[in-house]
Amino acid sequence: MEEKLKKIKLLILDVDGVMTDGRIIFDSNGVESKFFNVKDGHGIKMLQRAGVEVGIISGRESLVVTNRATELGIKIVYQKSLNKLEPYQKILLATGLTDEQVAFMGDDVIDIPVLKRVGFAAAPADAIAEVLPHVHYVAKARGGWGAVREIADLLIKGQGLWEEITARYNLK
Of 62, 56, 68, nearest to 111 by C-alpha is: 56
Mean pLDDT of all residues belonging to the chain: 96
* Domains: count for the chain: 1
- List the domain range (segments joined by +) for residue 82: 2-169
Residue 36 has pLDDT above 80, yes or no: yes
Residue 63 has pLDDT above 70, yes or no: yes
Q: Looking at the whole model, is its pTM more than 0.75?
A: yes
Per-residue confidence (pLDDT) for residue 10, from 0 to 100: 98
Residue 172 has pLDDT above 70, yes or no: no
Segment 75-125, tens digit of pLDDT: 999 999 999 999 999 999 999 999 999 999 999 999 999 999 999 999 999
32 - beta bridge partners?
26
Q: What is the CATH number of the domain that holds 6?
A: 3.40.50.1000
Whole-number Cα distances in Å, 11 to 27, 129, 135: 32, 22, 14
